[in-house]
Structure 1
Amino acid sequence: MSNSHAQAVLRTTDIAEALRVVGQLLDLADTRELEVDFEARVSTAHELERLTGVMPDADWYAYGADRHGSSREVDSPSDCLPVFMSRWGMDPEAVEAFLAAAGKAPAMVRWDFTGWPEAPDVGLGRGGTRGAYVTLCVNADDLHLEEPSTDHTVYVHVKQVESRRAPWLAAQVGLRVIGELQMAPM
C-alpha cells in the first residue's frame, strides 16, 4: 500500500456541485489513462445489495473492532455487516451508478490519471502519476469514511514534496484549499 497526500478544495451538500468541480480539475489533468476506484462503508443489507450491483467482485472486509470476515476468507458479506467494500480500476462512466447505489452510505470515488499539468506560478513542472488523483468523499467528513456527514468533499492529491501544487490547483478552478495537507492511504 502506498500513500499520497491530499488537501480538500470543496465541501458542499450539493453532489452536483462537487462533481462539477471534479470535472474542472480533471480538465486540467492528463487523463489519457483515466480510471476510478470506489470504496464504501456499508451498514445495511439494502446498501450491500445496491452496491454489489455496481461493484461486482468487490473486495470487502468486516468493519469495526472485534469484527471478522472478508472476501479473502470467502465469507458472505451480508453475514458480516457492517463491511468496507472497495473496487479499483473501474470505468469512469460507472461513477453516477456508484453514487446512486451508495445513497446515504459514506463512500469515495478516486479518479486516477496520468499526471497534473505544469504549475510554473509555483515553480513546479508537470506532475507524474504518483500523487495525481482527485477524490470525492460523499456522506463523510474524512478520507477514511469514518466520520459520517451530510457533506461531500473534493480533495486533490499531490506529491508531498510538491504540496504547493494543491493550492495552485484549487485556484485554477476558483477555489482555495481547506485545512491541511494530509496523508491519504491508497
Structure 2
Amino acid sequence: MNSYAQPVLRTVDLSEGLRIVERLLALADLSDLEVDFDARISSPHALSGVLALLPDADWWAEGERPGSSARGDDPAACLPVRLSCWSETPEAVEPFLRAVGDSPATVRWDFNAWPEAPEVGLGAGGTRGAFVTLCAHARDLELTEPVADYTVFVHVKQVEAERAPWLAAQVGLRVIGDLDMAPY
C-alpha cells in the first residue's frame, strides 16, 4: 500500500526545509526511524560524492540503456543514473544533500506513526502512511520536474487525508498542493 503525499512548504532555503522537517518529526513516533535516499544523477562529481558516502547504493542507467549496480557496471560510464539507498541513519542526510549538489533528489524519513489528531477525528497514524520527504531540486517525488528549490511533503494514508492539513497546521503551515499517491 502506497502512502499519499501532500506538499506543505516550498523554499529556496535548504536550512528552512530541514527545520520544517525537524518540526514535523518532533510530532511523530520515531521508533524504527530510517532514512531513504533517491537521486537522478548526471554529473560525475555528484556521482562520486554520493557513492563515497553510500557505497552500497543501488543504481541503474536511466531510460532504455543497460547498466546497473546489480550487473557490476561502472556507474560513471552509465550516466545519467537513478540511485537509491534505503534504511540509512538521519546523520547521513546533510552529507547526502551536499554530495548530490544540484541533482534532483529526495530524502524520506520513514518512522512508526503520526500522532493522534483528535481535532479531525483521527487516532495515531500507522507505518504505511507515516513519512516526511524533502524533495531537492525537483517539484515532484518522481524527480522528473527540475527546479531550483526544495519542497517538504507529508505522507499520510489516503483514508486519513485530513491528517495532512492538520500536520501542516501543527508547524504553522498549510498544504500547498494536491494529495497524490507517492511513487514508493
TM-score normalised to structure 1 length: 0.97
Aligned twin of 2:38: 39
Say how many residue pairs are matched. Answer: 184
For residues 24 and 69 of structure 2, the distance between their equivalents in structure 1, rounded to whole angstroms, comes to: 34
| DSSP 3-state at the match of 1:185 | coil
Task: Tell me the CA shift for residue 92 of structure 1.
Answer: 0.6
The runs of 5 or more residues in structure 2 that have no matched partner are none
Task: Tell me the CA shift for residue 98 of structure 1.
Answer: 0.5
Aligned twin of 2:55: 56
Task: Tell me the CA shift for residue 55 of structure 1.
Answer: 1.3
Aligned twin of 2:97: 99
Q: Which amino acid aligns with 2:154?
A: V
Give per-residue Cα distances to partners, 1:106-156, cap 9 Å, x unaligned.
111000001000000000001111110000000111101111110100000
Which residues in structure 2 correspond to 1:112-131 (within 5 Å)? 112-131=110-129
Matched, 1:23 2:22: yes
Which residues in structure 2 correspond to 1:121-160 (within 5 Å)? 121-160=119-158
Q: Which amino acid aligns with 1:59?
A: D
The runs of 5 or more residues in structure 1 that have no matched partner are none
Q: Is the 8 A contact 2:2 2:128 kept in 1?
A: no
Task: Tell me the CA shift for residue 50 of structure 1.
Answer: 0.6
| DSSP 3-state at the match of 1:48 | helix
TM-score normalised to structure 2 length: 0.98
For residues 122 and 28 of structure 1, the distance between their equivalents in structure 2, rounded to whole angstroms, comes to: 16
For residues 125 and 79 of structure 2, the distance between their equivalents in structure 1, rounded to whole angstroms, comes to: 40
| DSSP 3-state at the match of 2:99 | helix
The ranges of structure 1 where at least 4 consecutive aligned residues each deviate by more than 2 angstroms after the TM superposition are: none
Give per-residue Cα distances to partners, 1:63-101, cap 9 Å, x unaligned.
13x322111222111111000000000011111100110
Give per-residue Cα distances to partners, 1:46-67, cap 9 Å, x unaligned.
1110110111110011113x32
Task: Tell me the CA shift for residue 162 of structure 1.
Answer: 0.3
Task: Tell me the CA shift for residue 181 of structure 1.
Answer: 0.3
| DSSP 3-state at the match of 2:92 | helix
Task: Tell me the CA shift for residue 10 of structure 1.
Answer: 0.2
Q: Which amino acid aligns with 2:111?
A: F
